[in-house]
Amino acid sequence: MSVLLMGIGVARGIAIGKAHVLLCEVPDIVEYALPVELLEHEVLRFGAALEKARFHLRSIRDHLPMTTPADVTAFIDIHLLMLEDSSLSKVPVDLIREQQCNAEWALKQQRDHLVHIFDSMDDPYLRTRKDDVDQVVNLVQRLLMGQSPSWGGSAHSLRGRVVIAEELSPADAVLFYHEGIAAFVSERGGPTSHAAILARSLDLPAVVGLRRARQFILEGETVILDGRRGVLLVEPDQRSLRYYEDRLQEDHSRIADLSRLSRLPARTLDGRRVRLMANVELPEDIDELAEVGAEGVGLYRTEFLYMNRSDPPDEEEQFAIYRGLVQVMDGNPVTIRIFDLGADKPFPGIELGQVSPNPALGLRGVRLCLRFPNLLVPQLRAILRVSAYGPVRMAIPMVTRTSEVMQVIRLVEQSRRDLRRDGFSFDEDMPLGGIVEVPAAALTVPSLARHLDFLSLGTNDLIQYTLAIDRTDDQVNYLYDPLHPAVLRLIYTTLRAGTKVGIPVGMCGEMAGDPRYTRLLIGLGLQELSMHPSSLPEVKQVINSSEYNRLAKLARKAVYAHDSEEILCLLDSMNEGV
């Protein structure tokens, strides 16, 4: 009998294959007492397991192909750093000696202690760090117990298999990827969890948050995974199998067509031009931009330069990185967003003094930038200085009021005066824009437009703040809905107000890169979409097969729809033929 399971589709694509179910991720740990004379031997055994874990992670990292996305490498580096941290390398040793117990038990106690601390902190970023602790501890436990360091290396080949796991560590994901798995499912995680980011980076179809998946699927059963819809079909019947085999075939031919599109502009059949730009997170990301035909950078998330280090990047370091990007873009605009730290993107170098009771509503985005002018000013200077090398735009994250914008402008003006005095050149007219990611900004476009030159809709946060859904909380992920009428109305209001007051409005949230929404967005009037580079060809293909005038009528209806279901029906009509 076939079974249909629903999770969260995080990386598009269809996979058909045999399931490989990873059953016991956490080894059973037992405590045993050791005689004093064996304690130092136990400490050495623990040290050896740590060393093997380091060797394992280093050898994965060092053998990654050049094309491996930077975020995958960064995840593995974080795990390596954790192995060095005294909380995992030294405290268990103290526990072995104090409690005269085995290394596994000492490590388990320390793991429980750390997880308890993270649990009580109620911070979404630290929740993901808790998962990192678990993954690193699991690795060491497996090594202490003489097991293989990874879940890979199974007796049978994993090529073409769909891996079903409670959760995949970055290192395991990379190993499985190299073994040629077709897709993976994880029981935990949401659209922004590590597993989801990894799947997108590695271009592996994936479904996450599929709770208790391993109870429903047996090793070797045939499964079909639809990473777009978040569906997993177990032991499908012949009809479903044929349907998905055809879809898979269509996907293959579509991918072949896409690469031919990169040189063409995005333009609807009735001639409406749409500019497709790329979102960049790390300097390494820029290699892909020319390949996919990006017409500029619509969002450079500079906060990633500050994370996982204790000292902020100084003006010169930033200047060198931004200049590299501007030069690669060769005359196309580069939008550099001032650091959007706080909430799920902490910077250890900032002493906030107290833990925010609700980080998503606390000191983050522009609020944090303004609280720390000593961090902001070097960045403003670096951005201004690179504006001498090509078209640069500066964007402010999480704008909610004009006074914040004016404070940033004052600091920009001061930086301009200082740079002139110091003999640096820069673009005197460098555009300054704001990311619209809070309803307050969407509803006050005319006021913001008096001070800003452009706006970009940050739908990831706009949806979070409009629907009161923490985007990192997998308990409420199912309510995170880009098609909620309130979200569409805010997007439309922003666009209409922008047109009225003559300020360009683009979009740089994830919605912009999801081809399911492309026709709706261009129908609503968007002419600049910025997205992960890998999404760009498919979005372009949708645009180039669309008729703007038809979509504009349907999109207007969607704006006044009563619920997401009605909007979904309209979206289906728009997407006919996609």
Q: How far apart are the first and last CA of the chain?
A: 32
Q: Which partner from the list Mg ion, ligand PEP, none does 508 bind, CB cut-off 5 to 8 Å by kind?
A: ligand PEP
Cβ proximity to Mg ion: between 138 and 444 the closer is 444
Q: Which partner from the list Mg ion, ligand PEP, none does 459 bind, CB cut-off 5 to 8 Å by kind?
A: ligand PEP
Tell me which of 167, 295, 461, 470 binds Mg ion, using CB under 5 A: 461
φ, ψ dihedrals at 14, nearest 5° = -115, 145
Q: Are 436 and 458 in contact (CB under 8 A)?
A: yes
Name the residue among 7, 364, 38, 354 with its Cα closest to residue 191: 7
508 is catalytic: yes
Tell me which of 295, 437, 470, 528 binds ligand PEP, using CB under 6 A: 437
Cβ proximity to ligand PEP: between 38 and 361 the closer is 361
**DSSP string across 472-496:** T-TTSGGG--TT-HHHHHHHHHHHH
Q: Which partner from the list ligand PEP, Mg ion, none does 509 bind, CB cut-off 5 to 8 Å by kind?
A: ligand PEP
* CA 163 – CA 160 distance, rounded (Å): 9
338: part of which helix (H) or strand (E)? none
Name the residue among 504, 514, 513, 516 with its Cα closest to residue 532: 513
Please, which of residues 73-132 interact with ligand PEP by CB under 6 A? none
Q: Cβ contacts of residue 101 below 8 Å, gap of 6+?
A: 31, 32, 33, 34, 95
Tell me which of 461, 470, 474, 514 binds ligand PEP, using CB under 6 A: 461
Q: If DSSP codes are grouped into helix, strand and coil, which group holds residue 34? A: coil
* CA 486 – CA 497 distance, rounded (Å): 16
Q: Which residue in the shown chain puts its C-beta closest to Mg ion?
A: 461
Catalytic residue among 56, 194, 484, 532, which?
Answer: 194
Catalytic residue among 56, 79, 484, 508, which?
Answer: 508
Tell me which of 71, 340, 514, 538 binds ligand PEP, using CB under 6 A: 340
Which positions from 431 to 460 touch Mg ion by CB under 5 A, shown as an x/- string? ------x--------------------x--
- Report, in Å, the least distance between residue 190 CB and ligand PEP: 14
Is residue 285 within the footprint of ligand PEP (CB under 6 A)?
Answer: no
Cβ proximity to Mg ion: between 134 and 303 the closer is 303
Q: Helix and strand tally (H, E) in the chain? A: 23, 16
DSSP assignment, residue 360?
G
Cβ proximity to ligand PEP: between 337 and 381 the closer is 337
- Report, in Å, the least distance between residue 308 CB and Mg ion: 19
Name the residue among 464, 483, 478, 460 with its Cα closest to residue 563: 483
Q: Are 406 and 444 in contact (CB under 8 A)?
A: no
Cβ proximity to ligand PEP: between 27 and 431 the closer is 431
Is residue 301 within the footprint of ligand PEP (CB under 6 A)?
Answer: yes
Q: Cβ contacts of residue 440 below 8 Å, gap of 6+?
A: 400, 401
- Report, in Å, the least distance between residue 513 CB and Mg ion: 14
Which residues belong to the active site?
194, 508
Residues making contact with Mg ion (CB under 5 A):
437, 458, 461
Q: Which residues are at the interface with ligand PEP (CB under 6 A)?
A: 299, 301, 340, 437, 458-461, 508-509
